[in-house]
Amino acid sequence: MTAFGLLFAVLTERVRWAVAFKTVVFLPMAISAFATGVTWRIMYQQDPSVGAVNALGRVVSEAVSAPGVLSSALPSVTALQQQGGGLVLKTPLHPGSVALLGLTGIPPDQVPKSAKQAVQPKPKPGDVVGTVWRDFKPGGGKPGVVEQAEQGLPGVTVELRETTGKVVQSTKTNDDGTFDFSNVGAGSFNAGIGAATFAKPFGGYAWLGPKLITPSLLAAYIWIWAGFAMVVLGAGLSALPRDVLEAARTDGATEWQTFRRVTVPLLAPTISVVFITMIINVLKVFDIVLSLAPESVQSNANVIALAMWRTAFEGGGNYGVGSAIAVFLFLLVLPVLALNVRRFRRET
Amino acid sequence: MAAAAPAIEVPTPREPASVKILAFVAKAPVQIVLVVLGALWLVPTLGLLITSILPAGDLASHGWWQIFSHPSRATWSNYDALFHNHGLLDALKTTAYIAVGNTLIVVVIAALAGYALAWLDFPGRDWLFIAIVGMLVVPLQMALIPMFRLYNTFGLYDSVLGIMLFHVAFGLPFAVFLLRNFFVGLPKDILESARIDGANEVVIFLRLILPLGLPAIASLAIFQFLWTWNDLIVALTFGQNTTPITVWIFGQLREFGTSIDVIAPASFISLVVPLAVFFAFQRYFVQGLLAGSVK
């Protein structure tokens, strides 16, 4: 948090609309930690079509690798087997064979719009032909047989492989599900559908689940307090003696050197104040855990203040243990208390 | 945010256009980074606002950004329903009572105490102030259990007064600290001449200290108001039927998925008041923050 604040403070010194930026970053300071928790809970929802963070994740992941057309499909006959995420027809094919790649488990809304009645192609000498189709019709149908009212699956990439697995040809199916590998040499082949066709769409990370709840809380907490660190450090920055910075630049120091060797040491007292304030705040975190974390994962994001409150007031009513936790919390801030008192005794 | 502006504006000589363009290009990465960060800081609040004006049915299947493609789905019905919800209205009223009452009490006591600690001579004054400084960092969790039992004994449990008094107790150290430090910095000779002119302490306090100390008092009032308005833990501990808005929303959180059309607008109402206060008194807010942490 301190680092973020420093970064913002330094960056904002350089632009003209710094005031607008500072106001925006500072806004969360005025909002209650509780409302912030609710706000971020909406952002963090797991379903990428509802939660904004995962929606962003989906955009990125789809840009990297598109989800397959038939993410939920399963083979309809035993000869068609899973292999490396894709499917391979185990029956050997020769020039003149017909490959029937039947798939089931495809919900109607996932069948591509252009799909037509599936057609079983006639064998062609020298070619391997076949169909990829939805081997299911209302009422069931016979597995492995292309029947009336079963739809072909267009746009599926079919690969012709040698028995070693090497891909010789690849093609896309037509609207009726048919495909045709022409001029296939002599020998034995397999037909398969590549893994990309079955790639699952991005399901979203469980930001509110037991594993990720702590980083999620951290991010929301930074969102609240970065503004505070920025304003205090910004004030510290503008109070720095300008001539020292100028001198460093005149001596030929780079921006980074000036920052690292002049700004940070001069700013050290302010940085330590911000740091200590942050630590005290973090020790007392309470509201945001209650509102951001769903009840079932709150024990995975347990903090001292929450542990104390739950022990004493929720369910058990165990005031003794609750008080002990509170005293422990107090012991943790005691050094800061001593520090404060010492500083003021020196001043007065 | 005047506090962070550079102290002295050095008038820059006019530069040729080419230099200006170069400087602009050099700054571009910084500008882009800041725009992205600014968006990052703005989006969650915006998301809450938009969520609050969409019907629950639409929110189950699509995110709040659907508003950009279907602006017609926006509706005031969530807010309409809330303003006819007695639970929420009562909660708002309770919150306002606690926040305003606490702010008034704290400001009055702290102004008097700050004046005494800054300008009146009495034995043990410095020790008293050091004790107050020490209490600044005491976590309020320390007092929850003992106060809970005391309140039960004295019948203050589940009352606006009880919650308010607890806030007063834990708001005072910071309040006294802030005001005393500000009052100490007031010019001494004005006070001296007033004393020579025969003004008594009450007159000095009312006619001199209060007007001169207004900036500090204003920031203190804003802080107290925001703290109590935003509080959850105190009200959750000491109230059962006396529920301020945060506790009321907390009660709805169990059905997060289904009652999002209640939670989102209620949360937005709860944060609109602090935001309004923040924008109206931004200057004092920042000043108080700096005084509390740097001095």
> Does residue B235 share a domain with residue B153?
yes
Q: Is residue B6 part of a domain?
A: no
- Same structural domain for residues B123 and B54? no
Does residue B58 fall inside a structural domain?
yes
Choose between B47 and A196: higher pLDDT: B47
Among the candidates B29, B62, B78, a domain finishes at: B78
Angle between helix axes A2-12 and A264-283 (nearest 10 degrees) is 140
Q: Examine residue B147 and state whether it is found in any structural domain, yes or no.
A: yes
CA A217 to chain CA centroid, nearest Å: 15
Q: Cα-flanking dihedrals φ and ψ of residue A204, to 5°? A: 90, 145
Query: Do the chains contact at A326 and B129, CB–CB below 8 Å?
Result: no
State whether B169 and B188 are in the same domain.
Answer: yes
Convert the pLDDT of each residue in A3-18 to its tens digit. Answer: 766 777 776 666 667 7
Instruction: Report CB contact under 8 Å: B275, A323.
Output: no
Same domain, B160 and B119: yes
CB within 8 Å of chain B, chain A residues 136-155 = none
Domain assignment present for residue B3? The answer is: no
A22 touches chain B (CB under 8 A): yes
Q: Give the pLDDT score at A248.
A: 85
Cβ B133–A291 below 8 Å, yes or no? Answer: no
What is the domain extent for residue B185?
85-294
**DSSP string across B224-277:** HHHHHHH--HHHHHH-SS---HHHHHHHHGGGTTTTHHHHHHHHHHHHHHHHHH
Question: Which of A41, A290, A337 has the CB atom closest to B232's CB atom?
Answer: A290
Same domain, B126 and B36: no
Residues B90 and B72 in one domain: no
Sheet holding A128-134, edge to edge: A74-75, A98-104, A128-134, A178-181
The residue from B28, B48, B78 where one domain ends is B78
Condensed to tens digits (0 to 9), the pLDDT of residues A72-112 reads 677 777 777 777 667 777 777 878 778 888 877 777 766 77
Beta bridge mates, A179 = A130
Residue B269's domain is classified under what CATH number?
A: 1.10.3720.10
pLDDT reported for residue B295: 38
What is this structure's pTM?
0.75
Nearest CA in chain B to A44: B44
Interface test with A, best of B34, B147, B152 (most A CBs within 10 A): B34
- Kindly report the average pLDDT of chain A as a whole number: 80
Out of A28-42, A60-74, A109-123, least confident range: A60-74
For the residues A146-167, what does the mean pLDDT come to?
A: 79
How many independent structural domains does chain B possess?
2
How far apart (Å, rounded) are the C-alpha atoms in residues B226 and B247?
16
Q: Using the 3D structure, point to which of B78, B108, B132 is the last residue of a domain.
A: B78
**Which uninterrupted H or E stretch holds A159?**
strand A157-162
Residues of chain B with pLDDT under 50: 1-10, 294-295
State the fold for domain A74-198: Immunoglobulin-like (2.60.40)
Residues of A in contact with B61 (CB under 8 A): 49-50
Q: Are residues B67 and B168 in the same domain?
A: no
Report the Cα–Cα distance between both ends of chain A, in Å, rounded: 32
Rounded to the nearest 10 degrees, the angle between the axes of helix B160-184 and helix B125-135 is: 120
Kindly tell me the burial class for residue A19, based on how many C-beta atoms sit within 10 Å of its own C-beta (0-12, 13-18, 19 or more): middle
Q: Which of residues 40-59 of A touch B (CB under 8 A)?
A: 40-43, 49-52, 55
B194 & B256 share domain: yes
pLDDT confidence of A173, banded at 50, 70, 90? Answer: confident
**Per-residue confidence (pLDDT) for residue B93, from 0 to 100:** 92
Tell how far CA B266 is from the center of its chain.
Answer: 18
* Cβ <8 Å between A42 and B264: yes
Mutation site, B35, B141, B258, interface A, largest A CB count within 10 A: B141
Domain over A2-59+205-302 is classified CATH 1.20.1250.20: no
| B230 in any annotated domain | yes
Among A residues 99-118, those touching chain B with beta carbons less than 8 Å apart: none
Same domain flag for B176 and B40: no
In this prediction, residues A39-48 reach a mean pLDDT of 84
Residue A71 pLDDT greater than 70, yes or no: no
The C-alpha of B43 sits at a distance from chain A's nearest C-alpha, in angstroms, of 9
Give me the amino acid identity at B42: L
Q: Complex ipTM, two decimals?
A: 0.80
B57 lies in the same domain as B103: no
**d(C-alpha A143, C-alpha A164), whole Å:** 28
Q: Is A348 on the interface with B (CB under 8 A)?
A: yes
